[in-house]
Structure 1
Amino acid sequence: MAATPLRSSAPERRPLRGRRPTDTPSAVDRAFTGATTTSGLVVLLLLTLIAVFLVREAWPALEARGWSFFTTVEFSVVGNPPVLGVLGLLVGTVVVALIAVLIAVPVSVCTALFITDVAQGRVRSTMMGLLDLLAALPSLLYGLWGFAFLTPYLEPVARFLSTHLGFIPLFRVEADKPLISSYFFAGLVVSLMVLPIITSVVREVFMQVPPGEKEAALALGSTRWDMLRTVVVPFGRGGIIGGSMLGLGRALGETIAVSLLLPQSPISVVHVFQYGGSTIAGFIAVNTGASGLALSGLLAAGLVLFAFTLTTNFVASLIISRSRSGAGVDA
């Protein structure tokens, strides 16, 4: 008597279709493809509509000022006619964002390495929960905390650095200028805001490192530090760059915190520890009651920030596609 073959208790998998050009995709596959395609087209449509709106509303200011709009430092909405110039606002925006990224990226990478390859059990889950909690806090709280709590502690630090690094023009401070409400203060607070975002992206990439590569490095006699330096960090280069660019975009568009931490007065010379400065988003938030040509100038400044952010993200995507962890992702 022939033995009855044993049946597997595992559920049967749905056969994949559409693997070859001659195959017909199933209804679920077609619905998924249509949904994702529609979502992508909706995003592109929204970006196009935002760009068209900004160009249309900013055109009167651009037509009135011409190229001087991009080379003028001062921006005043109270004059008649108003003085419109985006250079001082753009420089302040870039300085604050760069300070934030320069502080946040090393801390984020070290934190991600600690979570993925050092911490265990409850420590790891606690760290991940704290990072998610920091990312959920509104920017208003960061701004109030930085303005009311950090100022007394950061002013001595700014004075020490300006005293010992004052030979560098960027760190020089004029004798009669206070050391509060500076680019350094704003950049430090914004770095705390973008740190959870960068850490989350880098952490997810580090968790994708093949365990075999790490075990091989350790088996060949590498220390944990050597393994992290030669295996994990090179593998996650694309994630580090992508997280940094995502944090940079977040820092470029930060509004509420910088509007509280900076006096929103465009300046021609940048001293990171000295009182003064402004950003595009913060200046627009402070002057939302403008009308007429001044309102058109504010929208023109927003158009510059929109184009600058899109360009930054596009360059970042090109860099990521050429890195190890990002190569072939979009293929």
Structure 2
Amino acid sequence: MAAVTDQMAAPGVPAIRKTPKGTFDVIFRNASFLAALFVLVLLAGIMLSMVIGGWPAFREFGFGFITSSVWDTQREQYGAWPAIVGTLSTALIALLIGVPLSLGIAVYLTQLAPPWFKQPVSTAVELLAAVPSIIYGMWGLFVFVPLFAAYVQIPLSNIVEGIPVVGTVLYSRSPSGLGILTAGIILAFMIIPFIASITRDMLDQIPSVLRESAYGIGATTWEVVRHVLVPQAGVSIIGAIMLGLGRALGETMAVTFVVGNANRLSASIMDPGSTIASRIANEFNEAMGLQLNSLIALGCILFFVTFVVLVIARVLVARVKSF
């Protein structure tokens, strides 16, 4: 039968290969399976250890641990709501600032930049991705925070004071430069390299014949980007955005430097606040007993939030693919 198959194969076309039975193929298949299984076992181990560590806090405070705003180490009362709101707020601000800038960088590098300028900018974007988070935090604290307080917070607070809604959101009672908005801006700087690099690579892989065809029928650069490039790379762009969101949600040191680390809820994004990661970083080293359990419970909540974000990303990708 194998001889007949070889004879029927066209010249230059290999015959149909049988299912591999060699020792190396079996080893390779089993090693690949163990590598995939290792990821699941590691994830399950992390989840289980965090649930066990945080269970005393959930058992003590119940659902009130999530909704409470009290964090008092003297009375052993702990609540996660300010940290949860701070985490979501800083991540949302980072996306609102970082995503448009990242997409603009990617489109410019792939469609508009001259060759002599494209390579330096691409290298600079990649170098930004390699900068450690603590460097972003130190730069934010010693350079960005004083400038932001002097040239943004103080003038803006004087302008919006007393204005309904806008004044509530943008007015700062103590314009020190630290706050939720500052942390969101620093996070935006940190996620831009990841989103921009992935989006640029995806746009570069789109066949040039699609763009040339669009230009050939009279489409403008904006129309080519809007109706050709974005639909073709939509799934990858969503993945890049979710990758950036994942880093923004879990970032620790940079946020700890600039968020203000105040355990309070404020309607103004200019006021200091805290995030789950910054709360854990500040208190974990000296935590004991129920406080330690509460910090681990905060980690469980952050893990759950990240899981929800992943589910949403999967749903969006599925809808884009079906569209």
Q: TM-score, normalised by structure 2?
A: 0.87
The more displaced of 263-272 and 186-195 is 263-272
Query: Would the alpha carbon gap of residues 30 and 159 (structure 1) be closer, same or farther in structure 2, given more than 3 Å must change?
Result: farther
User: Match of 1:157?
Assistant: 152
* Residue identity matched to 2:124: L
SS at match of 2:58: helix
Instruction: Give the total of aligned pairs.
Output: 306
8 Å CA contact 1:182–1:277 kept in 2: the answer is: yes
State the Cα deviation string for residues 130-166 of structure 1 (Å, max 9, x = none).
1111111101100010111112322222344443485
Aligned pairs (5 A) from 1:105-254: 105-155=99-149, 156-162=151-157, 163-164=159-160, 166-168=163-165, 171-173=169-171, 176-254=173-251
Question: 1:34 offset after TM fit, Å?
Answer: 3.8
Q: Does 1:282 align with 2:278?
A: yes
Aligned pairs (5 A) from 1:252-263: 252-263=249-260
Query: Would the alpha carbon gap of residues 264 and 225 (structure 1) be closer, same or farther in structure 2, given more than 3 Å must change?
Result: same
8 Å CA contact 1:146–1:261 kept in 2: the answer is: yes
8 Å CA contact 1:179–1:273 kept in 2: the answer is: no
Q: Distance in 2 between matches of 1:108 and 1:135?
A: 12
Q: Does 1:65 align with 2:71?
A: no
Q: 1:318 aligns with which of 304, 315, 319?
A: 315
8 Å CA contact 1:62–1:69 kept in 2: the answer is: yes
Question: 1:59 offset after TM fit, Å?
Answer: 0.8
Q: Distance in 2 between matches of 1:254 and 1:14?
A: 52
Identity %: 34
Question: 1:120 offset after TM fit, Å?
Answer: 4.1
Q: Distance in 1 between matches of 2:113 and 2:193?
A: 17
Question: 1:30 offset after TM fit, Å?
Answer: 5.1
* Residue identity matched to 1:315: I
Q: Does 1:88 align with 2:88?
A: no
SS at match of 2:71: coil
State the Cα deviation string for residues 150-183 of structure 1 (Å, max 9, x = none).
1232222234444348532552425x42242111
Question: 1:33 offset after TM fit, Å?
Answer: 4.3
Give structure 1 regions of 4+ aligned residues with deviation exceeding 6 angstroms.
12-16
User: What RMSD, in angstroms, separates the aligned Cα atoms of the two structures?
Assistant: 2.3
* Residue identity matched to 1:227: V
Question: 1:31 offset after TM fit, Å?
Answer: 5.1
Q: 2:20 aligns with which of 25, 42, 46?
A: 25
Question: 1:267 offset after TM fit, Å?
Answer: 1.5
Structure 1 spans left out of the alignment, 5+ residues: 1-11, 18-22
State the Cα deviation string for residues 20-51 of structure 1 (Å, max 9, x = none).
xxx41365665554444332221111111000
Query: Would the alpha carbon gap of residues 46 and 204 (structure 1) be closer, same or farther in structure 2, given more than 3 Å must change?
Result: same
Q: 2:296 aligns with which of 287, 294, 299?
A: 299
8 Å CA contact 2:145–2:258 kept in 1: the answer is: no
State the Cα deviation string for residues 78-119 of structure 1 (Å, max 9, x = none).
314x22111110000000011011100000001011111222
Q: Distance in 2 between matches of 1:34 and 1:192?
A: 42
Q: TM-score, normalised by structure 1?
A: 0.85
State the Cα deviation string for residues 190-222 of structure 1 (Å, max 9, x = none).
110111011122112212222221111100011
Q: Distance in 2 between matches of 1:68 and 1:248?
A: 27
* Residue identity matched to 1:50: I
Q: Distance in 2 between matches of 1:15 and 1:209?
A: 33
Query: Would the alpha carbon gap of residues 13 and 118 (structure 1) be closer, same or farther in structure 2, given more than 3 Å must change?
Result: farther
Query: Would the alpha carbon gap of residues 31 and 273 (structure 1) be closer, same or farther in structure 2, given more than 3 Å must change?
Result: same
Query: Would the alpha carbon gap of residues 172 and 116 (structure 1) be closer, same or farther in structure 2, given more than 3 Å must change?
Result: closer
* Residue identity matched to 1:114: Y
Q: Distance in 2 between matches of 1:53 and 1:173?
A: 42
Q: Distance in 2 between matches of 1:52 and 1:322?
A: 32
Q: Which has the higher helix share?
A: 2
Q: Distance in 2 between matches of 1:263 and 1:226?
A: 44
Q: Distance in 2 between matches of 1:62 and 1:14?
A: 62
